[in-house]
């Protein structure tokens, strides 16, 4: 197999994007928070309160696993359980003001870190990365 094969290109791109994603994920406001916990906070911030089952389905995990995640977030005050307004038997998980603050601060830290990286690049390199980002987004949304 030649060094410039599509397979090698794919491998290089995969490795680069995984390393970039890992470095971005390291930029967080709460160092002890897991990626899964942060993902739950983001989902609640973006989509509003969810039942435990809906959160588990969204993340592709079991309800007991999501319950552990929610319990950990509730223990530190980032989420709360509230009665469903339409069906008082159901409980929804909602993000608290403290949870919103964690998400906002983490997003700011990540954007600042990436902006610092981009500032070190030439205009041509930034243009290339911007074009690559558009291509990647187009393809993942197909």
The CATH number given to whatever domain includes residue 132 is 1.10.10.10
Residue 23 lies in a domain: yes
Q: What are phi and psi of 46, to 5 degrees?
A: -80, -45
pLDDT for the residue 134: 96
Q: Does the pLDDT of residue 59 top 80, yes or no?
A: yes
Residue 129 lies in a domain: yes
Cα-only R_g, the chain: 19
Q: Average the pLDDT over 91-113 and give the result.
A: 97
pTM above 0.85, yes or no: no
CA dihedral sign, ordered 133, 134, 139, 140: positive
Packing angle of the helix pair 6-26, 97-119 (nearest 10 deg):
130
Residue among 62, 55, 126 at smallest CA distance from 92: 55
Given pLDDT bands bounded at 50, 70 and 90, which one contains residue 20? very high
Q: Which of 60-69, 77-86, 97-106 shows the lowest per-residue confidence on average (mean pLDDT)? A: 77-86
pLDDT for the residue 3: 59
Residue 1 lies in a domain: no
Q: Does the pLDDT of residue 40 top 90, yes or no?
A: yes
Given pLDDT bands bounded at 50, 70 and 90, which one contains residue 125? very high
Q: If you average pLDDT over every residue of the chain, what do you get?
A: 93
Given pLDDT bands bounded at 50, 70 and 90, which one contains residue 1? very low
Q: Does the pLDDT of residue 2 top 60, yes or no?
A: no
Residue 108 lies in a domain: yes
| Cβ neighbours of residue 69 closer than 8 Å, sequence gap 6 or more | 34, 36, 37, 40, 61
For the chain, the domain total comes to 1
Residue among 127, 99, 90, 108 at smallest CA distance from 42: 99
The domain containing residue 80 runs over which residues? Answer: 6-140
Please state, in angstroms and rounded to a whole number, the distance separating the CA atoms of residues 111 and 24: 8
Residue 72 lies in a domain: yes
Tokens read off for 99: 């949870």
Q: Does the pLDDT of residue 57 top 90, yes or no?
A: yes
User: Which segments of 53-117 are extended strands (E)?
Assistant: 79-83, 91-95
């Amino acid at each position: 197999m030649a060094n410039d094969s599509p397979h090698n290109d794919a491998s290089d791109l995969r490795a680069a994007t995984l390393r970039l994603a890992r470095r971005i994920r390291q930029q967080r406001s709460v160092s002890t928070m897991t990626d899964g916990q942060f993902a739950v906070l983001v989902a609640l911030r973006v989509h509003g309160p969810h039942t435990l089952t809906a959160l588990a389905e969204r993340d592709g995990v079991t309800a007991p696993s999501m319950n552990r995640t929610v319990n950990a977030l509730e223990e530190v005050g980032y989420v709360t359980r509230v009665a469903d307004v339409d069906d008082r038997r159901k409980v929804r998980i909602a993000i608290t003001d403290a949870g919103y603050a964690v998400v906002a601060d983490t997003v700011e830290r990540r954007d600042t870190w990436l902006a610092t990286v981009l500032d070190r690049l030439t205009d041509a390199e930034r243009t290339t990365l911007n074009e690559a980002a558009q291509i990647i987004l187009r393809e993942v949304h197909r």
